[in-house]
Amino acid sequence: MIELKIPQELGQEDRLVTEEFQEVLDHAHGEGGARVTVLEGTYHIGSVRLYGHTELHLEEGAHLMGSTDIADYTDWGIPTTLAYAQDPFIARIQGIPPHYTRALITAADAEEVAITGEEGSTIDGVGCTDPAGEEGFRGAMGMRICRCRNVRLSGYTFKRSANWSHQVDSCTNVSFEGVTVLGGHDGFNIHHCTNVEIARCMLKCGDDCIAGFDARNVLVDSCYLNTACNAFRLGATNLFVTRCRIVGPGEYPHILEGTYHMHAAIKYYAVKGDTIREDVCNWRFADCSFENPGRLINYDYGSAKGYQTERPLVDLHLVRCTAEGISQSSFFKGRADVPGTLELEDYQLQYAPDEANVGKLCIQLGEGAKLLQENVSYEGEEPLMGPRVVEEDEMKAEVLKKATK
């Protein structure tokens, strides 16, 4: 692999250097791949595209600074594999625009793609807003990596994402190692991905830390997750989470709501309008701690508002974990024919419900759902478990949903 460098003088310019930056990436592409190094400096860029067999490496003190003008971003005309974003009903409800997948850095239909950084290197989305974007303000994605194989992301810090920091979809063999995310929206989105490893990462997000549906074989190890939304919002077959610390409230706010509290530590995700190939099964959290998670679990099959209407979750296992400061009642409700199994083993739970949840069960179980317990220590005045209770406001929401179809 040849070695190329982004000219360091570009990092001293107080202007966009997108064209010159892209010229080096195009040179790498023409050579069949290269290691492209970004030297110390601040490089102001709009959208750039990375190709296969290429590593973009940021040295210590190298900073990529996104444009503050949404017109400087593109999706390169590359079709998305996120079918739900093109569903008319979902697009209307969420305000998803046709240019939804514009990004600061894009790689698509490639193999052996890497973005790496040394300590002290950053990529900054500058929170660039788009009045015509999702929810009326979201801007470009941070990174968009689509239909790629053998993806390696490591070492850098991504901050102030204008939408998801990392939109990685329909990829195989993806590694996140030692990546830090600060503020903005989602941290890692892994829709339709297979074989994903996330290790020793620090995610302090305004929105979901790790999200995505129709994923397979996901390992999350030794990570710190802090959020003002959901720590895990996933639909993944074979999910193994070990030695992680999940902490609320968020250090950074949920930008749309202006709030900091964590919504849920574990939330199921199976959205209508996209491809979900199989029932989701084999979720195992081991040796993890949950601090002030709001709800510990939000699995409420059939909830359109929660995007939990497609394939069900078969089983969830929490082993050698602790959860303290749970303030909202959890749901574990499956589909009628697949009610689900929840296992707690060597588990310590502390439930201190907030005002709106006083008198509610710690865990509400759907009809037929199975709860397996072994060596569970529970602290709380309300019962640990009981049947799912559908409240009046939820029933009104269902009526409203049907009326808007």
Query: Is 52 a member of any domain?
Result: no
How far is the CA of 291 from the CAs of 22, 70, 184, 350, 351, in angstroms?
44, 37, 21, 10, 11
Neighbours of 228 (CB within 10 A): 26
210 phi and psi, to 5 degrees? Answer: -130, 120
How far is the CA of 296 from the CAs of 243, 244, 292, 371, in angstroms?
17, 14, 9, 15
64 phi and psi, to 5 degrees? Answer: -95, 120
- The CATH number for 373's domain is 2.160.20.10
Query: Is 368 a member of any domain?
Result: yes
How far is the CA of 226 from the CAs of 229, 245, 246, 307, 388, in angstroms?
9, 8, 6, 22, 28
Query: Is 35 a member of any domain?
Result: no
Query: Is 252 a member of any domain?
Result: yes
Query: Is 41 a member of any domain?
Result: no
Nearest to 248 by CA among 210, 204, 211: 204
The per-residue pLDDT for 394 is 55
Question: Under a CB-based contact definition with an 8 Å cutoff, are residues 237 and 217 in contact?
Answer: yes
> What confidence tens digit (pLDDT) does each residue in 225-244 have?
999 999 999 999 999 999 99
The total domain count for the chain is 1
Query: Is 352 a member of any domain?
Result: yes
Query: Is 221 a member of any domain?
Result: yes
* Rounded Cα distance, 80 and 400, in Å: 30
Question: Under a CB-based contact definition with an 8 Å cutoff, are residues 323 and 278 in contact?
Answer: no
Q: Is the pTM of this model over 0.75?
A: yes
> What confidence tens digit (pLDDT) does each residue in 246-285 have?
999 999 999 999 999 999 999 999 988 888 989 999 999 9
Tell me the pLDDT band of 316, cut-offs 50, 70 and 90: very high
Q: Which residues pair with 274 in a beta bridge?
A: none
* Rounded Cα distance, 183 and 390, in Å: 34
Query: Containing domain of residue 340, as a range?
Result: 58-104+120-404
Q: Which residue has the tokens 């999702």?
A: 134
The per-residue pLDDT for 402 is 39
Neighbours of 131 (CB within 10 A): 8
- What's the chain's average pLDDT? 94
Q: Indicate if the alpha-carbon torsion angle 253, 191, 200, 120 is positive or negative.
A: negative
Q: Residue 90 pLDDT > 80, yes or no?
A: no
Query: Is 223 a member of any domain?
Result: yes
